[in-house]
């Protein structure tokens, strides 16, 4: 419909200039609606056009948001594009995964740096990590996953530091052997210096014989424009 209106306006302008007796043709009160069909918004997105400004609201995948931002200003009639009201569904999922992983605590036995089973949350980690890496690539970010080994406060500090490091390395190796790229993973031991829980209760000491995660996200550098 918008495309047909634009064609009609252009034809009317050309015809008016050729008609005898017409000195001036004024179409300032005619609104040229932009053709938005090429944007192909998902059902979750609403588009509103007023006074040259195209406003998008709702939620959409990251790829559509990035594409619409580039395409909109090339559409005749659009002088400004406002996508601030859009929720990036991929980024929202990424932040949720980040939060879930950073709340994960992998428990170990007393003086243990390995596990005999996968009952303490380790088994589901590879699938979560793979999904995290998939979304990171989609939203143009870098990720660094820090695997942090902990110990309780029993024993000598030097021994606790070494034990915590071995716990972190054990989890790192498990993730690598289950398909997570080594370039994303860093392992470090903090001994009893960064307790997961205060050790006032025995059950809290158990929580400190563990491994936790810190996910660092950074933006990829802007692509070179050749200048």
Q: Check which CATH number belongs to the domain holding 202 and give it.
A: 3.30.1330.60
Residue 138: partners with Cβ closer than 8 Å, 6 or more residues away: 61, 62, 63, 90
Residue-number span of the structural domain to which 21 is assigned:
2-87
* The predicted structure's pLDDT at residue 20: 74
Same domain, 108 and 64: no
If asked whether residues 69 and 16 sit together in one domain, one would say: yes
Please give the model's pTM, rounded to 2 decimal places: 0.79
* Four-residue CA torsion sign, 45, 50, 52, 53: negative
Q: Looking at the structure, tell me whether residues 144 and 212 fall in a common domain.
A: yes
Give yes or no: residues 200 and 171 share one domain: yes
- 81 and 116 inside one domain: no
User: How many structural domains are present in the chain?
Assistant: 2
pLDDT attached to residue 1: 44
Residue 187 inside a domain? The answer is yes
Contact present, 105 and 210 (Cβ < 8 Å): yes
Separation between Cα atoms, residue 193 and residue 33, nearest integer Å:
64
**Residue 170 — left, alpha, or beta (φ > 0 → left; ψ -120 to 50 → alpha)?**
alpha
Same domain, 212 and 136: yes
Q: Are residues 113 and 211 in the same domain?
A: yes
Output the DSSP codes for 180-211: --GGGEEEEE-TTSS-SS-TTSHHHHHHHSEE
Residue 7's pLDDT is 64
**pLDDT of amino acid 143:** 97
Instruction: Judge whether 124 lies within some domain.
Output: yes
Digitized pLDDT (tens) for each residue of the chain, 227 residues in all: 445 555 666 676 677 677 776 767 665 655 667 888 889 999 999 999 998 899 999 999 999 999 999 999 888 888 899 999 999 999 999 999 999 999 999 999 999 998 865 556 788 899 999 999 999 999 999 999 999 999 999 889 999 999 999 999 999 999 999 999 999 999 999 999 999 998 877 778 889 999 999 999 999 887 644 43
Which tokens belong to 221? 């550098």
């Amino acid at each position: 419909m918008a495309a047909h209106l634009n064609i009609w306006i252009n034809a009317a302008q050309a015809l008016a200039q050729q008609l005898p007796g017409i000195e001036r043709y004024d179409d300032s009160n005619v609104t040229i609606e932009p053709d938005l069909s090429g944007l192909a918004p998902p059902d979750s997105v609403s588009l509103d056009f007023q006074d040259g400004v195209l406003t998008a609201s709702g939620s959409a995948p990251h790829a559509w948001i990035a594409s619409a931002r580039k395409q909109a200003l090339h559409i005749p009639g659009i002088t400004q594009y406002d996508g601030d009201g859009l929720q990036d569904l991929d980024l929202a999922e990424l932040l949720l995964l980040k939060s879930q992983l950073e709340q994960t605590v992998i428990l170990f036995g007393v003086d243990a740096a390995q596990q005999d089973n996968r009952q303490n949350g380790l088994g589901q980690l590879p699938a979560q990590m793979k999904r995290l890496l998939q979304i990171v690539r989609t939203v143009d970010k870098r990720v660094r996953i820090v695997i942090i080994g902990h110990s309780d406060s029993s024993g000598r500090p030097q021994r606790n530091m070494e034990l915590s490091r071995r716990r972190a390395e054990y989890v790192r190796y498990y993730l690598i052997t289950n398909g997570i790229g080594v370039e994303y993973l860093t392992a470090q031991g903090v001994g009893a210096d960064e307790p997961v829980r205060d050790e006032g209760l025995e059950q809290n000491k158990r929580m400190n014989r563990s491994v936790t995660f810190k996910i660092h996200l950074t933006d990829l550098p802007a692509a070179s424009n050749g200048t």
